[in-house]
Amino acid sequence: MPKTPAPWPDPQPQRWMCARPSASAATPNDMSYGVLWGLNNTAQIVNRDRGTANADIDGNLAWDVTTGSTTMVVGMCDSGIRGTHEDIAGNLWTHPGETAVNGVDDDGNGYVDDTWSLDFWNNDKDPTDDNGHGTHTAGTVGARGNNAKGVTGVCWNVRMAGLKIGSASRSVSVSAGISAINYCITKGIKLSNHSWGGGSFSSAMDSAITNARNAGHLLVGSAGNSGLNNDTSPSDPASYSQDNILSVAATDNDNRLASFSNYGATRVDLGAPGVTIYSTFGKSNTSYS
């Protein structure tokens, strides 16, 4: 099914500002919340760059409605997750059908001890993040909010499944990505994050995305970091045509298209903060970057 064209970007990207509704504006007590301009931009200076007030996603207003739910599971398809990180451990998914580290495939799905994660890159159960990227994206999605530590994710409360599909050198395996998508389908996980891209069209990936659509699964994908038009130079998997792909460009703290970000009127759906993002990191259990 073709994707509905989205008006992004204009030839000369504009500063788009949304009116703020009346709200009490929840403020978490996380130590570094003040530098998370993407959630609440007050024109603060981050990394020596002053932003534009309200060039953000109004996370603090959304939290007046909900801070997330522990019933929502996100499959984090990336370089792995440091599951012991102080700001992530509390929001990890626990596989209800698997007994922890007993050497048995309890639910008969072909994977042993997949209690919260799997490594599809090395074909084992250890999703150790040996690059850092996966832990960083996990923090943006779901670092534990209002715990007086580090940062907060968009969701204070959520469950994240660590699905490792990449290596320490930032390489990603398309076949591993397909396995991760298929795993989400079998486990009833309805949402997965794919902050990766590149390579040529894959009919196997195309089929996996279609199967995910039929299962009611949404894939959120990075539009890409090459400054190209995805309508003419596709960046997969975000550029596949199925309507269960949400392709996201990167915006900066002035609400403009990031200089490096891909774009496209048809193959890119929206923009979200993607420059100078502070988040959890995989170097240690208290590391941020």
Q: Return d(Cα 116, Cα 93) in angstroms, integer.
A: 5
| Burial call 228-254: b when 16+ CB within 10 Å, e when fewer | bbbeeebbbbbbbebebbbbbbbbbbe
169 in a domain, yes or no?
yes
- For residue 31, give the amino acid letter: M
- Answering whether pTM is above 0.75, one says yes
Which CATH number characterizes residue 109's domain?
A: 3.40.50.200
In a domain, 260, yes or no: yes
| Strand locations in 29-105 (E) | 45-46, 49-50, 68-78
11: in domain: no
How many domains does the chain divide into? 1
Q: Is there a domain that residue 289 lies in?
A: no
Closest CA relative to residue 88, chosen from 151, 182, 8: 151
Q: Is residue 228 part of a domain?
A: yes
Q: Which tokens go with 193?
A: 């994050």
- State pLDDT tens for residues 105-129: 656 666 666 666 789 998 887 788 9
Please state, as a whole number, how many other Cβ atoms lie within 10 Å of the Cβ of residue 82: 27
In a domain, 221, yes or no: yes
Per-residue pLDDT at 62: 96
Backbone dihedral region for residue 134 (phi beyond 0: left; psi -120 to 50: alpha; all else: beta): alpha
Tell me whether residue 244 is in a domain: yes
Q: What is the pLDDT of residues 42-80, one digit of tens each?
A: 999 999 999 999 999 999 999 999 999 999 999 999 999
pLDDT digit string (tens) for 158-205?
999 999 999 888 889 999 999 999 999 999 999 999 999 987 899 999
- Hunting for tokens 């522990």 — which residue is that? 70
Residue 163 lies in a domain: yes
Structural domain range at position 118: 68-273
